[in-house]
Amino acid sequence: MYPKRPLSALAFLVLAGAAAVLGGCSKPPQAGPSGPPGAAGPVQVGVHTVVTQSLTLTSDLPGRTAAYRVAEVRPQVNGILQKRLFTEGDIVREGQPLYQIDDALYAARLKKAQATLHLAEALAKRYEGLRKSNAASQQDYDDAVAAWRQAEADAEVARIEMVYTKVLAPITGRIGRSAVTEGALVTNGQAQALATIQQTDPIYVDVTQSVSEILKLQRALEEGGLKEVDQEAAAVTLSLEDGRPYPLAGVLNLAEISVDQGTGSVTLRASFPNPDGKLRPGMFVHATLQVGVSQDAILVPQQAVTRNAKGKAMTWVVKADQTVEQREIETPRTVGNTWLVGKGLQAGERIVTEGLQRLERLPPGTPVEAVPATNVDLVTDLAAPGATD
């Protein structure tokens, strides 16, 4: 074993200096007067100033088209079908012959009825002369006149049946395919229709709206938040299943009185001109109805609104002292790419649309630098030309 030697003075100084260096490295830096390290002034956010405007509110409702009038063609006499007098799919006019039923038997019945009428008329006139000379009783004369009137009625029935051998179009419209061909036996009152005619100009559009939405609109009208649309200016627009707008506007005709118990909705019916036949019965469409006018509507960009854990709509508002607060608002519906605000904001207030992520990390009362937002382009009608450019 070697004997322990005391450290020399030089070695002791070297070790002490190294410890001092290591201890100095572990001390935290002192914060300067401008705040935490890396701070470069207030956080910059983009803001949009809230304004009020007059807005016509609309409802976009799904629906289907329905023919304005529908008539099922059926025979009114019995017989063999001889001819079809129309082309399937064509436009037929009211009163136009569609089918010809064999009329030989009905022609014979008409001749017989006319002969009987002629005989009854002559007999009644003969009795009239005899009655004036008291050569015939009043009873005989009355019986002759009654037989004459009966013969007139029988002749008229025979004439009508003869007319009914031509099956006529009851309305003007487009006729579908024929359910029978020549040689078929048809009967008066049969269940099967010979063909169906549909009038499609104008054409109906039936849409459904929930009762809850109707009640909300009624409450808004009663409270003064909405005003009724002028009936002369109220128009219904239509978009087809492929998204294309229908060029002609329609009018709202009626709202069904009863509520569908299965869906809790009410059927609304509008009519549209359809001169070119672009709308066919049974098509799926979207109708846009004008429901009211809000004189002081507040629209805010959708990017300014977030949702909290409870699903409530929230937005950041820059106050007059340049600090921000998160505020709950009511957003009953969307309008284009905006939210319609019911409560929570007033005209002139500034809401944050850019830099929302930075605000989440700031302590309450921290001032911000508000600059005009560059990501705001309010569009109230996404279907308008250029709205999506």
pLDDT digits 0-9 by tens, 6-21:
444 434 434 444 444 4
Q: Average model confidence (pLDDT) for the chain?
A: 83
CATH number of the domain within which 262 lies? 2.40.30.170
Structural Rg of the chain based on CA atoms? 44
- Residue after which a domain boundary falls, among 237, 268, 293: 293
In a domain, 356, yes or no: yes
CA separation for the pair 90, 141 (Å, rounded):
56
- Count: domains in the chain: 4
In a domain, 36, yes or no: no
Alpha-helical segments (H) within the chain: 9-25, 104-132, 138-164, 211-223, 356-359
How large is the average pLDDT for residues 171-189?
Answer: 94
In a domain, 9, yes or no: no
CA separation for the pair 24, 4 (Å, rounded):
32
In a domain, 383, yes or no: no
pLDDT band at 25 (very low <50, low <70, confident <90, very high): very low
One domain, residues 172 and 96: yes
In a domain, 151, yes or no: yes
Least trusted range by pLDDT, from 7-11, 89-93, 163-167 = 7-11
CATH number of the domain within which 134 lies? 1.10.287.470
Least trusted range by pLDDT, from 73-87, 123-137, 340-354, 374-388 = 374-388
- pLDDT for residue 217: 64
- Cis-peptide into 275, omega within 30 deg: no
The percentage of the chain sitting over the pLDDT mark of 70, rounded to a whole number, equals: 82
- Model-level pTM? 0.66
The b-or-e profile of 262-287 (16+ CB within 10 A means b, else e) is eeebbbbbbbbebeeeebebebebbb
How large is the average pLDDT for residues 157-174?
Answer: 96
In a domain, 2, yes or no: no
Q: Which residue has the higher pLDDT, 19 or 193?
A: 193
One domain, residues 82 and 170: yes
Q: Give 164's DSSP letter.
A: H
Cβ atoms of 251 and 245 closer than 8 Å = no
- Residue after which a domain boundary falls, among 293, 310, 332: 293
The b-or-e profile of 19-41 (16+ CB within 10 A means b, else e) is eeeeeeeeeeeeeeeeeeeeeee
In a domain, 377, yes or no: no
How large is the average pLDDT for residues 21-50?
Answer: 57
CA separation for the pair 271, 68 (Å, rounded):
8
pLDDT tops 70 at residue 1: no
Least trusted range by pLDDT, from 188-197, 223-232, 244-253, 278-287 = 223-232
One domain, residues 85 and 182: yes
In a domain, 345, yes or no: yes
One domain, residues 87 and 184: yes
* Token code pair at residue 255: 């709202």
Handedness of CA 188, 189, 194, 198 (dihedral sign): positive
One domain, residues 213 and 285: yes
* Token code pair at residue 48: 């949009």
pLDDT band at 4 (very low <50, low <70, confident <90, very high): very low
- pLDDT for residue 7: 44
- Residue after which a domain boundary falls, among 293, 315, 333: 293
Q: The domain containing residue 273 runs over which residues?
A: 206-293
Handedness of CA 316, 321, 323, 327 (dihedral sign): negative
User: Looking at 302-384, which runs of residues are DSSP E strands?
Assistant: 306-307, 313-318, 324-329, 333-335, 338-341, 350-354, 368-372
